Amino acid sequence: MTKWVYAFGDGAADGDAKMRNLLGGKGANLAEMSNLGLPVPPGFTCTTEVCTYYYANGQTYPSDLKAQLDAAVERMGRLMDSKLGDPARPLLVSVRSGARVSMPGMMDTVLNLGLTPETVEGVIKLTGNPRFAWDSYRRFVQMYSNVVLGLEHADFEEILEQAKEAKGVELDTELDANDLKTITMKFKELVNKKLGKPFPDNVQDQLWGGIGAVFGSWMCTRAQTYRRLNKIPGDWGTAVNVQAMVFGNRGDTSATGVAFTRDPGTGENYLYGEFLINAQGEDVVAGIRTPQPITKLVRERQGGKKPSMEEAMPQMYKELKAIGDKLEQHFKEVQDVEFTIQEGKLWMLQCRAGKRTAKAALKIAIDLVNEGLIDKKTAVQRVDPSALDQLLHPTLDPKAAKTKFATGLAASPGAAIGEVTFTADEAEKMANEGHDVILVRTETSPEDIHGMHAAKGIVTARGGMTSHAAVVARGMGRPCVAGAGSIRIDADKGLMSVGDNVVKRGDVITIDGSAGVVYKGRVTMQQPELTGDFNTLMQWADEIRKLKVYTNADTPTDARTARSFGAQGIGLCRTEHMFFEGDRIVSVRQMILADTVEEREKALAKLLPMQRGDFEEIFRVMDGLPVIIRLLDPPLHEFLPHKDEEYEAVAKQAGVSAQKLKAKSVLLHEMNPMLGHRGCRLGITYPEITAMQARAILEAAINIEAEGKKVEAEIMIPVVAWKQELDFAAEVINKVAEQVKKERGKLPHFKIGTMIELPRAALRAGDLAQTAQFFSFGTNDLTQTTCGISRDDAGPFLTEYQVKGLLVRDPFVSIDRDGVGELIAIAAERGRKTRPDLDVGICGEHGGDPNSIELCHAVGLNYVSCSPFRVPVARLAAAQAALKKFERDV
526 touches 398 (CB < 8 A): no
Q: DSSP 3-state assignment of 630?
A: strand
**Distance of alpha carbon 95 from alpha carbon 110, whole angstroms:** 5
Cβ neighbours of 42 (radius 10 Å): 25
Q: DSSP 3-state assignment of 112?
A: strand
Q: Does the annotation count 435 as an active-site position?
A: no
Beta bridge partners of 510: 417, 519
User: Under 8 Å CB-to-CB from 261, ≥6 apart: which residues?
Assistant: 271, 324, 325, 327, 328, 334, 335, 337, 354
Beta bridge partners of 238: 99
Distances from the Cα of 607 to the Cα of 696, 716, 832, angstroms: 9, 19, 37
**Distance of alpha carbon 144 from alpha carbon 282, whole angstroms:** 14
Q: What are phi and psi of 144, to 5 degrees?
A: -65, -40
Distances from the Cα of 53 to the Cα of 28, 58, 61, 93, 238, angstroms: 20, 9, 7, 24, 11
Greatest CA separation found in the chain? Answer: 105
Q: What are phi and psi of 601, to 5 degrees?
A: -65, -35
The beta-strand segments (E) located in 521-666 are 525-526, 548-552, 570-574, 626-630
Which among 46, 351, 393, 468 is annotated as catalytic? Answer: 468
Query: β-strands 238-244, 272-277: how paired?
Result: unpaired
Report the side by side order of strands in the sheet with 488-490. 488-490, 495-498, 501-504
Q: For helices 130-147 and 117-127, give the axis angle rounded to 10 degrees.
A: 140
First to last CA, the chain: 28
Would you call 272 exposed, middle or buried from its count of C-beta atoms within 10 A (0-12, 13-18, 19+)? buried
User: Under 8 Å CB-to-CB from 205, ≥6 apart: which residues?
Assistant: none
Cβ neighbours of 355 (radius 10 Å): 14
Q: How far is CA 404 from the centre of its chain?
A: 20
**Distance of alpha carbon 601 from alpha carbon 157, whole angstroms:** 78
User: Under 8 Å CB-to-CB from 853, ≥6 apart: which residues?
Assistant: 547, 847, 864, 874, 877, 878, 881
Would you call 558 exposed, middle or buried from its count of C-beta atoms within 10 A (0-12, 13-18, 19+)? buried
CA count, 13 A, side-chain hemisphere, 666: 7
- H, E, C per residue of 795-851: HHHHHHHHHCCCCCCCCCCCCCCCCHHHHHHHHHHHHHHHCCCCEEEECCHHHHCHH
Q: DSSP 3-state assignment of 113?
A: strand
Burial 126-152 (b: 16+ CB within 10 A, else e): ebebbbbbbbbbbbbbbbbbbbbbebe
The beta-strand segments (E) located in 691-821 are 712-717, 750-756, 774-777
Q: What is the DSSP letter of 499?
A: T
Q: Does the annotation count 220 as an active-site position?
A: no
223 touches 106 (CB < 8 A): yes
Which among 843, 846, 856, 857 is annotated as catalytic? Answer: 843
**Which residues does the annotation mark as catalytic?**
468, 843
